[in-house]
């Protein structure tokens, strides 16, 4: 899977930070990826990631989730409902606020990199339809997240 990467922040975070999680994710949920993307090989799929600040995340969060203020990660999946649009191999977009990630890292008493990795993997799993609305779904998502990390 290719990773399109845009860092719109002043933090120096190389694209390579995320590529190992993409590779791990591909292998951990490969069957689900192939089911959601029939006719495509994993190497031909594209995932987009954009890092932004809270100032940019707030209006996105309010528009798409109808919630006030910023959030850590938003995922926009193009494979969950493929009949809604022509699928060209772009599986989705992940948008992460580094400001919120930094605050959460302090709150969770972990490094910025650990929290960033955790939230990227969380967004990655959302792209492929994993969710945490029920205890069962949350346990499944957590199991896959741990394997990817």
Backbone angles phi, psi at 144, to 5 degrees: -70, -40
Report percent pLDDT > 90 for the chain: 88
Q: Whole-angstrom Cα distance, residue 28 to residue 99? A: 29
Mean pLDDT rounded to a whole number for the chain: 94
Quick one: which of 89, 80, 99 has its CA closest to 47?
89
Backbone angles phi, psi at 95, to 5 degrees: -120, 125
Q: Which residues contact 65 (CB under 8 A, 6 or more apart)?
A: 71, 74
Residue 82: predicted pLDDT: 59
Give 67-92 pLDDT, tens digit per residue: 999 999 999 999 876 555 567 899 99
Q: If pLDDT is split at 50, 70 and 90, which confidence band does 146 have?
A: very high
pTM: 0.94
Q: If pLDDT is split at 50, 70 and 90, which confidence band does 44 have?
A: very high
Question: According to the 3-state scheme, what is the secondary structure of the chain?
Answer: CEEEEEECCCCCCCCHHHHHHHHHHHHHCHHHHHHHCCCCCHHHCEEEEEEECHHHHHHHHHHHHCCCCCCCEEEEECCCCHHHCCCCCEEEEEEEEHHHHHHHHHHHCCCHHHHHHHHHHHHHHHHCCCCCCCHHHHHHHHHHHHHHC
Residue 39: predicted pLDDT: 86
Give 11-25 pLDDT, tens digit per residue: 999 999 999 999 999
Q: Which of 10-19, 27-36, 85-94, 135-144 has the lowest mean pLDDT?
A: 85-94
Residue 85 or 34, more confident: 34
């Amino acid at each position: 899977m290719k990773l399109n990467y845009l860092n719109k922040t002043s933090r120096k975070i190389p694209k390579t930070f995320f590529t190992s999680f993409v590779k791990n994710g591909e292998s951990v949920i490969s069957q689900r990826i192939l089911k959601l993307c029939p006719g495509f090989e994993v190497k031909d799929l594209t995932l987009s990631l954009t890092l932004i600040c809270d100032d940019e995340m707030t209006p996105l969060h309010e528009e798409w989730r109808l919630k006030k203020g910023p959030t850590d990660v938003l995922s926009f999946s193009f494979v969950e409902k493929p009949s809604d649009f022509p699928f060209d191999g772009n599986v989705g977009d992940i948008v992460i606020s580094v400001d919120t990630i930094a605050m959460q890292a302090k709150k969770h008493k972990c490094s910025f990199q650990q929290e960033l990795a955790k939230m990227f993997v969380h967004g990655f799993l959302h792209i492929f339809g994993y969710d945490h609305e029920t205890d069962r779904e949350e346990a499944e998502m957590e199991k896959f997240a741990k394997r990817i990390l």
